[in-house]
Chains A and B, each alone.
Chain A
Amino acid sequence: MIKKQGLGSGVQGPGRKYLFFWPLAFGLFLILPLIDHSAYHQDVLVTAGIYILLALGLNMIVGYAGLLNLGYAAFFGIGAYTCAGLNLAWHIPFWLALPVAVVVTGFFGFLVGLPVLRVKGDYLAIVTLGFGEIVRIVFNNLDPITGGPNGLLGIEHPVIFYPVFNPSLIWKRFDFGVSSFPYYYLVFFCVILVAYFSLRLDRSRIGRAWIAVREDEVAAGCMGIPVPQVKLLAFGVGSSIAGIAGSIFAAKQGTITPDSFDFILSVMILAMVVLGGMGSVPGVILGGLVLSILPELLREFSIYRMLIFGLVMILMMIFRPQGFLGNVRRKYELTTR
């Protein structure tokens, strides 16, 4: 029997009941900026989308392959700096810089993964944390290339050309500029693409290999899974997603500073993955959406924000370690040793 492979099929366990929910959400978010013209709302959603991209990327490393990474913001930073640097140094347009940034970020992920294969568990977490700090300090101190603490400014916004028949063919230029509207669709498209990619990956040979390695490395190795290569792939692919997010972030902001890529961001992204449900794509999207919109709603309580995050993280680990929409397999894995 051929199983349905739509977005909803990624929801396991209790989530299956809400199959209709995802097309509905898709439609809603597709037309949202056309109905709701509030620039503020659009801006919040673009930021949320960038966070969701990051969370989806981290989910491949932490959720699928079970490799805890506490330095993910570094890859976001590498993506942003690559895109911005290419643009500022050689005026390479966004659309060309984006794939380069993705490749570069993926390569760095791979590079970090290489030595990291020698350590496991919470030691891996600490090594990635150390790497994240090193990257941030390098951004901060390597003034000639990264602009030091002031960062890089004057990054060009993306530009597209579209044909108009009037009456002959003319190419019109459209600059994304500073308004959030065009970025909304760019981010939306990327989120859908990465989410679909994640879901397909989850069911693929590679995804199953990741899950096998996560659950029992020795057993996976015995079954012929090349454990080191599989782990490296998770690091590389997962990090490259941060390259997409970083490029969009750099192009939209026009300015990037090392402060944007600190440890708090790494933890925030991890919190999105954990709260949403490690290894569950709909869960991670939900986690990203909730954690980026909630602080906006709680603006007046914003000083309590991180305190509440901390409490939620502890409570979640005690009472529901598999997250909001965690899959069943993950639940058994996290609650029993």
Chain B
Amino acid sequence: MELFVQQLINGLTIGTIYALIALGYTMVYGIIQLINFAHGEVFMVGAYIGLTAITFFGFVSGSTLPMAMLYLAVMLLISMAGSGLLGIVIDQIAYRPIRNSPRLVALISAIGVSFVLQNAVMLIYGPQDQGVPQIVPDIHFIFGDVTITLMQIMILAVSLVLMVFLNFLVQHTQLGRAMRATSQDHKMARLVGINVNWIISLTFFIGSAMAAVGGVLFGLYYHTVNFHDGYLAGLKAFTAAVLGGIGNIPGAMVGGVLIGLAEGLGAGYISSEWKNVFAFVILVLILLFKPTGLFGERVADRA
């Protein structure tokens, strides 16, 4: 039972990070029907921007909790802004010129972007793991045999706030309505006076900013970042987006948490060596038997 609860907490933590990344996949897919294969790398770049930011501001270990919160906020904001802009730039350079080409062309271009980002980061920071300083104090709350760290609570809290905010933005604001209209029909959206290109850029910005938050939290949680991290995390987040129904924002959140739980429980009860297989097996099974995902109406087979 203790193992179960412990793995549940660990799974939930990593699951919310997957959920944050999955939001970007699902939003971009919802609006231009593109699998932004480079999204995982944006997550990784977000982690590196956060790391650079705290290095720049000279974080000193062992500061008080309010100071730590301030640092975290600064890290998140800089990383969100940087990655968001990166998302827009990627769209402008690699996707916009081929907006009307078949999917295959866009997918290959996206793989190209992914390679460029990975290798650019590798060239700038080096191929080795980069240590991330301990910003959030290492406080453990122990209930019997179950441990929950302050960092885990922070991850859950930050993710929850962002998801609620995003849901509000999309469902209850003018901007959100414009986004939803654009995802339904570009031509009609343009006819009612929506600046479609601007909405697409905005979608890339928000999606990438969410991934950046995921990246910063991921780095703080594991204390290290590597230029390879984006690939696997991105793939798992994509699985989460598909699981929840691609194009569906609440679906992506639920999907992320489910993938994280599957991974946590699988690693706890079966074998941690096979940890990475679970997500892929879920991905393959979902695509084969329920391509609409849990909440999606879109059929995931448009060629």
Contacts and interface: CB of A to CB of B under 8 A. Distances in A.
Most chain A CB inside 10 Å of its own CB: which residue of B111, B120, B288:
B111
B21 to A, nearest CB: 15
B283 interface: yes
B138 interface: no
A328 interface: no
Interface of A: 66, 68, 115-116, 118-123, 125-127, 129-131, 133-134, 137-138, 141, 217, 263, 267, 270, 274, 303-304, 306-307, 309-314, 317-318, 321, 333-337
23 contacts: A68-B104, A68-B107, A116-B288, A121-B104, A123-B300, A127-B284, A130-B280, A131-B284, A137-B274, A267-B111, A267-B115, A306-B119, A307-B119, A307-B120, A314-B109, A317-B94, A317-B101, A317-B108, A318-B109, A333-B102, A334-B101, A336-B100, A337-B101
A306 B111 CA distance: 11
Contacts of B273: 141
A177 B81 CA distance: 58
A137 B276 contact: yes
A134 B277 contact: yes
A262 to B, nearest CB: 10
Interface in B17-36: 35
B109 A127 contact: no
Contact of B287 (A123, A217, A263, A333): A123
Given A68-B107, A115-B288, A313 B102 contact: no
Contact of A119 (B108, B238, B239, B291): B291
B131 interface: no
B303 A313 contact: no
A121 B280 contact: no
Interface string B233-256: 001001100100000000000000
Contacts of A321: 98, 101, 105
Interface in B56-106: 93-94, 97-98, 100-106
| Pairs of residues from A and B, 4 with the lowest C-beta to C-beta distance, nearest first | A310-B115, A313-B112, A310-B116, A307-B119
Nearest to A140: B273
A309 B115 contact: yes
Contact of A314 (B103, B113, B280): B113
B107 A311 contact: no
B118 interface: yes
Contacts of B172: none
Interface residues on B, range: 35 or more
A123 B104 CA distance: 11
User: Does more than half of chain B's interface fall in helix, strand or loop, or is it mixed?
Assistant: helix
Contacts of A312: 112
Contact of A122 (B103, B118, B283): B103
A122 B112 contact: no
A121 B291 CA distance: 13
Contacts of A310: 111-119
Contacts, number: 134
B302 A121 contact: yes
Contacts of A337: 100-102
Contacts of A303: 119, 122-123
Nearest to B122: A303
B107 A306 contact: no
A141 B274 contact: yes
A274 B273 CA distance: 35
Contacts of A141: 273-274
Most chain B CB inside 10 Å of its own CB: which residue of A126, A312, A314:
A314
Nearest to B282: A130
Interface in B155-212: none
Contacts of A126: 35, 238, 242, 283, 287
Nearest to B119: A307
B145 interface: no
B105 A119 contact: no
Contacts of B108: 270, 274, 313, 317
Contacts of A137: 274, 276-277
A120 B115 CA distance: 24
A133 B274 CA distance: 11
Contacts of B115: 267, 306-307, 309-310, 313
B93 A314 contact: yes
A312 B300 CA distance: 29
B116 A314 contact: yes
A297 B303 CA distance: 38
B295 to A, nearest CB: 17
A39 B283 CA distance: 45
A337 B103 CA distance: 10
B102 A120 contact: no
A336 to B, nearest CB: 8
Contacts of B117: 310
B231 interface: yes
Nearest to A273: B108
A116 B287 CA distance: 9
Given A263-B231, A337-B100, 8 more contacts: A115-B288, A121-B103, A126-B283, A133-B276, A133-B277, A314-B94, A317-B112, A334-B104
B67 to A, nearest CB: 38
A318 B102 CA distance: 12
B123 to A, nearest CB: 6
A68 B107 CA distance: 10
B96 to A, nearest CB: 10
A311 B287 contact: no
B281 interface: yes
